[in-house]
Amino acid sequence: MGIYGKFDLFGLKKGEKVFQGPSLISLDAKGRLAVPTRYRDALRVQSDGHLVITAHPHRCLLLYPRSAWEPIRDAIMKRSGFDRNSTLLQGLLVGHADDVEMDGAGRVLIAPALRRFAEIDREVMMFGQGSHFKLWNPPAWEEQFKEIERLGADLIPAGMEDFSL
């Protein structure tokens, strides 16, 4: 997890932590996810432990610090209610958004409806995505990763062909 020194990379403000890297996490019997220790302090600083979990079109979940989620939610809700795709996206992302709070042990409850949506049972693959995390059912992530491998160089979006890693 790095610190970003300029404004607005991944939607982060200057000095906010960049969440990166994978973690395989077992849920407890109540469906709670123990946030990896390396992220807990940053989440408490950025949002006082107030988080949002919502559905993603790829049938995974998104976990945001509430402060990072709010501008995204506002931008989604500014879309026209008369545009079918906008309405569907609003229903998926905002309609499924669940405000959660990290407890003293660093756990957050993933609502049963969201676990069903992403087919998450006992384990979660948690991936840092800069300002937020993606939560995957491990077998679904394996399928996603196979697709990434299959696409190879075709995975690079137009306009990024000269980007170097």
User: Can you give the pTM of this predicted structure?
Assistant: 0.83
Out of 7-16, 92-101, 148-157, least confident range? 7-16
Q: In which residue are the tokens 């995204």 written?
A: 72
pLDDT grade for 84, boundaries at 50, 70 and 90: confident
* Mean pLDDT to the nearest integer, 94-99: 94
> pLDDT, tens digit, for every residue of 143-162?
988 887 888 777 777 887 77
Whether 124 is covered by a domain: the verdict is: yes
Mean pLDDT value of segment 57-61:
95
| Residue 163 covered by a domain | no
Amino acid identity of residue 37, one-letter, is T
- Does the pLDDT of residue 5 top 60, yes or no? no
* CATH number assigned to the domain comprising residue 81: 3.40.1550.20
Residue 81 — pLDDT band, cuts 50, 70, 90? confident
Domain that holds residue 69: 13-152
In what side-by-side order are the strands of the sheet with 2-3?
2-3, 17-26, 123-130, 133-136, 61-65, 50-55, 98-101
Whether 6 maps to a domain, the answer reads no
109 within domain boundaries: yes
pLDDT band at 6; cut points 50, 70, 90: very low
Answer yes or no: is 7 within a domain: no
Give the number of domains in the chain. Answer: 1
Residue 113 has pLDDT above 50, yes or no: yes
159: in domain: no
Answer whether residue 160 is part of any domain: no
Looking at residue 134, its pLDDT comes to: 97
Average pLDDT of the chain is: 87
Q: Does residue 133 fall inside a structural domain?
A: yes
Which pLDDT tens digit goes with each residue over 30-43? 999 999 999 999 99
Alpha-helical runs (H) found in the chain: 37-47, 66-77, 84-93, 112-117, 138-151
